[in-house]
Amino acid sequence: MRIFELHFNLRSKGETADKIFDSFCYEPENIYEKRLGSLYMVGELRNTLPQNSRLLDNIAQVIKGKYYVLPLQTPEQSFKESLKKVNEFLAGEVSKENVSWLGNLNFAALSIKNFDLNFTKVGGLKILLLRAGKIIDIGKNLDLQDIEPYPLKIFINIVSGKLDVNDKILVLTKEAFTVFSEGLAEGGKARQKTNKGEELFSSESLLTKFVKESSFDEKKLREILKAKEKRLSEISGVCLFIDLSEVLPGGREEKPKIVTFRKEVEKFSIREALSPLIRLLVRFSLTLKKILSSIVTLIAKKLKKKLSGPVYKLKNIFHLFQSKFKSKTKKIKVLHLQFPTSLNLKAKIKITENLKKGLVSILVLALVLLIGFFIFQREEKQQLKKQTAVLNEVQEKINQAENFLIFKEEEKANILFKESWQRILALTTKEGPLKKEATSLKESIEKHLTNLNKLEKITDPKLIFEFNQKDFIPQKIVIFQQDLCFFSPYSQNLFKINERSEGSVIQTNQKFNLAVSLDDAILFFSKPDKIATFKNGQFGESLSLKQPYLDFSFSDFSSFRENLYFLDPEKGEIVKYTAPLEKGKDSPQLWLSSGTKKATDSKSIAVDGSIWILKENNIISLYYAGQHQKDLTLDFFPYPKKLYKIIALPNLSYFYILEPIQNRIIILDKTGKIIKQFQSEKFDNLKDFAVSDNGKAIYLLNGLKVYQINF
């Protein structure tokens, strides 16, 4: 059995990231642990906060520690105990009000003892079995399992089964699965469903190539993945690959191999930067060596003494000292030089060949160092001159921008300040005599940009409610008339806060993923296809929506005039359900025209007569009447890093965007121009937000706290 841990664009230590991922492979270390077999895990955490940077490692250690502690149990019993222990650990994190990982954690754990398999997962990871030319999603039945809120249980169900020789298992994070499955069931090829999962086939996908190979090594893996090299360089994620084609009773022969694929980035190389200088110095030193050697030879000839020995070579000074301390018994070849008798002076000088070479080397080295010193001094002056020029350029732009402000031309001033900020940024990260001045200029520019981009920093935002995690852990918020309703995919209850900030629990036997408000009701959506109407304080009968196509996967939905619009980012489709939503009358329509640009790589949807799609690259796409109209590139300060959710209201000329990673809510007009930004250090765990019908009140769900901003 061979294990490969494929890491795609794993960040180096010290790099900041809003997503972390890793794989963990543990093998038995003694005869007792061998009774339990091997343990493998894959984890991914999105929207990561600094305090959770080691959460995946901690989860893996807790599971491993409990799994191997009781070797007399069966692997299945130990696996259950380890999951119980990690649930207790995660419940402890929640009790410390560390809840930002809820809804963002994707984790899979597998134990293999001979051919016995036990596994579980939470979140959007894929666990695939490759057997007899088929690809089976054995983790499919765990996709819809929900977290139990209190006492908290993250890992609930375990799947057990038997493996065969030549089976292969892949555990993939979402982005990795997207690339590996590209081409699956395309070109009209059918998909078959079984009670074990879904079988997929396509000659173009990486998964199919994995199926066709009988055994693997690192070279073979790289050959297969080379076909998707460009796509793999654009993602970040993990694929844990377990190949049982060479399994033997008693365990594996090879340790797991970590194969890292990292996007090549342009890096500064001191060697490359100095190579022209080094080549110049080497050429100069060789030339100088020849000149000095010629001078010594000429002197010897003038004195009528023939020099013998090999051609001189430039050596390290160490050679000189080494030769001087050799054994005294060694015969030293001595050259006698006698001054001309015309000087009426006789003297003898003993010069060894090594001494002559050493003298030449010392002279050459001294000259090289002296020349190098002057060259580097010159380079330093040139760099200082360039940096001074940048500072002068930036200062000139600042002066121009400030002049524009005097004449109320804020847009032109904003452009110049942003250009200045980008130009000066590099100088503030380099040590040098101008760093302090550059930092001062940068701070001055940021003050102007803060004002021009309508950024308001709130020290003490208005807190209207705080949840007790034993009662309810909210994940989503929806506004209905004057009330705020909170819900969670992990809880069957709703929680309502009225206009007097009084809270109450609404009992229900359903769990919800998404919600939108209509004129007189709230519609709650439960994956994969359930819609429930909440009206007059009561739930009506749930409706199973007709599937618009096979394997539809909605990430968000919105409403307009009682019609529902669902967003499928994987297919890039927008699906419309027209009112009334009744059994037998819920006819789904593909809203996008066949020839228009699809809404792939999307995060959030808002409908106000037009449809606004917030995309992964922080671009907002506008659609109208089924056609793509334009893309809005968002260019404001601070520059967007990872926007999360968009809300648009039909009666307002602007929309709202949430960006948790920069602790802010952004308000833009529908041309992309900034209207207002609100930012606070207390917005450190933003989960969701809602806006009142008149657009004046913004409600932010931040962990267990609810803040209100009046706009």
662-702 pLDDT, tens digit per residue, is 999 999 999 999 999 999 999 988 999 999 999 999 999 99
Output the pLDDT for position 289: 58
Q: Which CATH class is domain 2-261?
A: alpha beta
Arithmetic mean of pLDDT over the chain: 81
Pairing of strands 503-506, 514-517: unpaired
Q: Name the CA dihedral angle for 189, 193, 199, 205, rounded to a multiple of 10 degrees.
A: 40
Better pLDDT: 270 or 610: 610
Measured CA angle at 280 (ends 275, 282), to 5 deg: 95
User: Does residue 124 contact residue 499 with C-beta atoms inside 8 Å?
Assistant: no
Helix (H, G, I), strand (E, B) or coil at 90: helix
Task: Tell me, yes or no, if the pTM score tops 0.75.
Answer: no
Average pLDDT of span 64-91: 91
Residue 87's DSSP bridge partners are none
Our CA angle for 681, 684, 689, nearest 5°, is 110
Q: Range with the lowest mean pLDDT among 62-71, 271-280, 687-696?
A: 271-280
Determine how many CB atoms are found less than 10 A away from the CB of residue 42: 30
CA distance 459 to 229: 47
Residue 491 has a pLDDT of: 80
pLDDT at 101: 87
What pLDDT is recorded for position 195? 44
Same fold: 2-261 with 456-710: no
| Residue 554 pLDDT grade (very low, low, confident, very high; cuts 50, 70, 90) | confident
Nearest to 180 by CA among 191, 170, 190: 170
CATH number for the domain whose boundaries are 456-710: 2.120.10.30
Structure tokens belonging to residue 546: 């007709």
Task: Determine the pLDDT at residue 366.
Answer: 67
DSSP annotation of 148: B
pLDDT value, residue 318: 42
pLDDT tens string 423-457: 998 888 877 788 889 899 999 999 999 999 999 99
Q: Tell me how far apart the alpha carbons of residues 398 and 416 are, in angstroms, rounded to a whole number.
A: 7
In the sheet that holds 674-679, the strands lie side by side as 455-457, 674-679, 664-669, 654-659, 645-648
User: Residue 46: phi, psi to the nearest 5?
Assistant: -100, 160
CB 505 within 8 A of CB 490: no
Q: What is the pLDDT of residue 347?
A: 38
Please report which confidence band the pLDDT of residue 493 belongs to, taking 50, 70 and 90 as the band edges: confident
HSE toward the beta carbon, residue 601, CA cutoff 13 A: 13
**Sign of dihedral through CA atoms 506, 512, 514, 520?**
negative
> What b/e string do you get for 121-155 counting C-beta neighbours within 10 Å, with b at 16 or more?
bbbebbbbbbbeebbbbbbbebeeebbebeebbbb
Residues 6+ apart with CB under 8 A from 543: 530, 531, 532, 581, 582, 583, 586
Degrees, nearest 5: CA angle 339-341-342: 110
pLDDT digits (tens, 9 = 90+) for 9-35: 876 544 446 789 999 999 998 888 899
| Pairwise pLDDT comparison (68 vs 71), residue with the higher score | 68
The Cα diameter of the chain in Å comes to: 128
Asked if the model's pLDDT at residue 348 lies above 50, the reply is no
Mean pLDDT of 81-105: 87
Q: What residues does each domain of the chain span?
A: 2-261, 276-452, 456-710
